[in-house]
Structure formats: structure tokens, C-alpha cells
Structure 1
Amino acid sequence: MENDIRKVINKAVHSVTENCKNEELFITREGRKLPSRYVIIQIIKELRRVMFPGYFGSENIKASEPEYFIGHTITKLYEALKLQVETAILYKNADNATEEEIALRAEEISCRLFEKVPYIQQMLLKDIQAGFDGDPAAKSKEEIIFSYPGLFAIYVYRVAHELYKMDVPFVPRIMTEYAHGKTGIDINAGAQIGEYFFIDHGTGIVIGETTNIGNNVKLYQGVTLGALSTRSGQLLANVKRHPTIEDNVTIYSGATILGGKTVIGADSVIGGNVFITESVPAGAKVTLKNPELDFRYE
């Protein structure tokens, strides 16, 4: 029996090794490596402590003395992010840049992201306010920061979106897929989302790459903002495939809205479980006709 197991293992090792040699996906590109998913997730976790000081760490930050903690953490995160961005660009290297050029680009990107940190924090504070204003079950804003998966997914998206806009490969998707796995909320880093965005409950929400969402929009669980068809695959890259949601729209659970030309007008209310592939005018209320209930008693 032991000899049989060794034969099976040896055969498997040989076959997998051959696959690695023959499949270009597995061939290391001139000694280059992919960015570290683990490190990128740690960056997201540590940056959240900067965005919400005192909430996700053991430090006791006094209101008058946060500079040391924030400065030390951002400095550390800058170095970690720069290395991951440099690794990602070097692996991709579509324009055959030199290592020196890539290193400079990684420095610039990392610097620009941390320049954006105050802006991202202000956007998140508005998202928290939207959550508090929009959810009567919320007992405090602190509860939203600590507990709401929707806010976590939005936080990760807002960071990843800035990197997406700077054409950083791999890293934004690693970030948003981490949030997807943690919360069940799938927000592509390419989506454009305005102020006072609130996700209630959240599980099963999908927001596609070319979605545009205005200000003060509220989504419930199971909402899909997707493409009409992806059969053309890569031919649809860089084409607007996902809908536009204008300001002050509420979309209830299970609604599906598809298509790059589909616009949901401002101040609209989209009811649960509707399926929309055409534009909806401003101020509309779209609902399924209530089914007739049939009560039977034994």
C-alpha cells in the first residue's frame, strides 16, 4: 500500500511539474513575482485604523495627540504599498519600462494615494452619516463603524478605486475581493460612487465595473447592477456595460438592473425583485404587481 501511495504521489508531482513548465500562467516572468495578497490585506486592515482611529486597534488615542500614531502608521503603510505596487507593475510591465521607471511610478502612485487619505476619510464620514440617517435600527454612528459590513465594503472600495484610477494592476482587485469574501458585497473598484452612499444588510450585492452611482443612493441586500450580456468577453473591456443610478435613488432587495444604457432617474424608488433593462424616469416608483395571496386552512 505504501509503495502504491508513493507511485501516485510521484506521478502527480511529475504531471503537475510538466503543467507548470508548459503553461505560461505558471511560468515566472524573468524572475518576477506577483504581489502578496496577504500584505495587501494587512494594508487594508492597518489603513482602517487610520481612517477610524481608536476603533480597530488596542491603542488609546487622545483627541489632542493622534499625530504620532497616524504618522507612524502611514509611513509604514506607504513603504508596504509602494513595494506591492512596484511588484504588480513590474510583473505586468505592458510598456516594457525599466525597473527604475517602475520604482519611480510606484513611489508616485503610493504618494498620491496617501494624499487622498483625508478625502477618502471625509467621504466615509458622509457614508456613515447616510447609514445613520437611513437606518432606524442604528443606535449610533459608532455602531455603524464597528459593525456594518456595508461600510467596510464601501471603505475598501473607496481605497481601491483610487488605485484603479491610477491603473495599478492586481492590487485594487485583491482589495475588493477581500471585502467581497468578508461581506458578500461585490463592488468593482472601477465603479464610480458619489457621496452619502449606504448599503443596508448588503449580502449578495453586485456593483459592476462601469456602474455610475450618484449621491445619496441606498441599496438593500441582493441588488445587482450588472451587464446585459458578457458573451463577447474581452471585446467589452472599457465599454460602459453597467447602469447609471442618479441621485437620491433607493433600490430594494433583490432588484436587478442591467445594461450600460440603462439610467435610473433621480429620486426614483426601485422595488424588490424587479428586473430592469430599460431606463426609468426621474421620480418614478417601480414595483412588481403584488401577487394574490391564497390562504388555505385545513
Structure 2
Amino acid sequence: MKLESVINKIIQHKKQPNLRYQLKEKVEEFTNRLFYTLFDIDTPVEENLKQLEKDFDALVNLACWEVKKPCKKVWDNYVEKLPRILEKLNIDAEATVECDPASLSIEEVYMAYPGFYAIAIYRLAHELYNTGFPLVPRLMTEYAHRQTGVDINPGATIGDAFHIDHGTGIVIGETAIIKNHVKIYQGVTLGGLYVAKNLQKTKRHPTIEDNVTIYANATILGGNTIIGQNSIIGGNAWITASVPENSTVYHTPEIKIKTLPNV
């Protein structure tokens, strides 16, 4: 096959007119600059906000495919929300210091805890998601997912003082609701009980009430599933129905004792 024929066939099968991977790269640059603007003491806030506005304009040009939709108006509203987002993230960091005996300082949480980083990018993405500009926040949280192993959909609703310990393998679905002072450990899934496209507009993921702790590798599924406040979900638990408040749920392993050696 001649090279010209190969080129033509590749062009023929490139069917997505809006698929520009530079958008993904620019979202990552935007996300990094935004994180530094909020947290790094040596990063000038005013200067960076001006650059972020330019970065955001570039994202709009790449990702706002509906020309009648006023995407450019999103930035001004978003900037006004940044102080409140930072305030919430400071509360999250303080919750981690209080929860984790391994934390040596709050600076360590900001710089070294993958769970905090994933929460930070989620909170920054969630406000954009709420404006109806979904692709950029999705790319933001996917960037954090790649960095940390924590997959939080930007559509999830998460309250104050949220703590993720270790983090690797956590999945939090789009319609999940997590209230205040919740602690989640590695490998936890807050997922859908069924996977079907016609469920797109329905609540598919569980609700976690205040002061709940969910230990490693627990799986909680279903939009009607509610974990009552002050409950503890033990490691490896599989839950598809609601749990009353003040409950403790454990996965009980089966233990078999060998009666003969080497059997």
C-alpha cells in the first residue's frame, strides 16, 4: 500500500472534528497554575490570575463547541468563587492533620498527600462542572486521577472536612453525595448498582451522611443507598442497601483450620 493511500485512509477515519489533544495538555497547564496560585506562597496571585484568564479563554476556544453558549462569561463567576473554594480546602487539610497520626505538619498534607491533591482538583473542577461546561472539569479530575490514583467525578457533591487516606483506587461517581466530616480509605468505590445509558439523568451513586468512616476496599453501590450518619463501614464490605445511622458494618472472612499438615 502506497504511503499516500495510507494517509488518505487515516484521514478518512479521523471522524471527530472537535478532538484536539492540545485541549488536554492545556487543561493540565491550567490546573497546575491554578493549584500554585491558591497554595504556593511564592506564586504571585494577581499576576497568575491574569494568566489564568488567558489560559481559560484558550480552553473556551477549544472546548466550547456550542457557539451560542456564553462560555466566556464563566470565568468571572468562577474567579469570585476561588476564595470560598480555598477556604473549604484549608478545612479539608486541617481534617487530614486531625485524622492521620502519620501527618507531621499541615504543609506535608498540602505537598505530599495524594488524597488532598485529588480533593483540591475535584473542588476546583466541581464549580466549573456546575456551570454546564463539563469537558474541562472532567479533564481536570482525570489529570488528578492519573497523578494520584483517586478518581472523583467532578459532578459528585462533597461536603466540608473531607479526608482521603492513602487514596489509591478510590472511585467516587458523578451523582454521589458525601456530607461533612467523612473519612475514606484506599480502594473504596461509591458506584452505580447498574450500568445503563438510560440512567444518565438519574441518581446512580450512594449518599454518605455526616461523620461516616469507610475503610479500605469497601464497595457501596446504588443511587438509593444511604449510609447513615456516624456509621463505620469495615474493609472489603459490599453494600447495595441503606445502612441506619450509628451502624457498624463488617465483612466477615471465612476461616478454615487445616486438620492435616500440608493440606
TM-score normalised by the chain length of structure 1 = 0.82
Find the counterpart in structure 2 of residue 70 from structure 1.
45
Which one of the candidate residues 34, 37, 59 is aligned to 1:84? 59
C-alpha contact 1:270 1:285 (8 A) present in aligned 2:
yes
1:136 aligns with 2:101: yes
The answer to whether 1:226 aligns with 2:191 is yes
The change in CA–CA distance for 1:50 and 1:258 in structure 2 (over 3 A counts) is same
Which residue of structure 2 lines up, in the alignment, with residue 4 of structure 1?
none
1:253 to 182, 207, 216: 216
Do 1:209 and 1:242's aligned partners in 2 also have CA atoms closer than 8 Å?
yes
Q: Deviations over 1:2-53 (max 9, x none)?
A: xxxxx46455323212223xx3x2x35xxx9677111111111111112112
Return the match for 1:19 from 9, 13, 19: 13
Report the equivalent of 2:239.
276
Given that 2:155 and 2:175 are in contact with CA atoms closer than 8 Å, whether structure 1 keeps it comes out as yes
Task: Determine which of 143, 167, 186 is the counterpart of 2:151.
Answer: 186
| Partner in structure 2 of residue 122 of structure 1 | 87
| 1:266 equivalent in alignment to 2:241 | no
Q: Over aligned residue pairs, what C-alpha RMSD do you find?
A: 2.0
1:64 counterpart residue number = none
- Are 1:250 and 1:268, in contact at CA under 8 Å, matched by a contact in 2? yes
Q: Secondary structure at the match of 2:190?
A: strand
Residue correspondences, number: 261
Matched, 1:109 2:74: yes
Q: 1:78 Cα deviation (Å)?
A: 1.5
1:184-235 CA deviation, whole Å, 9 max, x = no partner? 10000000000000100000000000000000000000000000011x21x1
The amino acid that maps onto 1:48 is F
Q: Say if 1:35 and 1:88, in contact at 8 Å, map to a contact too.
A: no
For 2:103 and 2:261, the matched residues in 1 are separated by 39
Helix, strand or coil at the partner of 1:127? helix
What's the counterpart of residue 40 of structure 1? 27
Contact conserved, 2:23 with 2:63, CA < 8 A, in 1? no
Using the alignment, how far apart are the partners of 2:2 and 2:165 within structure 1? 51
State the secondary structure of the residue aligned to 1:36: helix
Contact 1:43 1:77 (C-alpha < 8 Å) held by counterparts: yes
The equivalent position to 1:204 in structure 2, one of 169, 179, 183, is 169
SS in 2 for 1:199: strand
Identity of aligned residues (%): 41
Q: In 2 relative to 1, CA 114–35 (structure 1 residues): closer, same or farther, beyond 3 Å?
A: farther
Gaps of at least 5 residues in structure 2 are none
CA distance in 1, matches of 2:131, 2:22: 17
Gap regions ≥5 residues in structure 1: 1-6, 62-68
Deviates more, 1:285-294 or 1:152-161: 285-294
CA distance in 1, matches of 2:234, 2:256: 19
The code of the aligned residue for 1:272 comes to G
Amino acid at match of 1:289: T
Q: Given the alignment, which residue of 192, 199, 211 partners 1:236? A: 199
Mapped partners of 1:222, 1:9: distance in 2: 47
- Provide closer, same or farther for how the CA distance between residues 279 and 13 of structure 1 changes in structure 2, counting only shifts above 3 A: same
- State which structure, 1 or 2, has the greater radius of gyration over its C-alpha atoms: 1
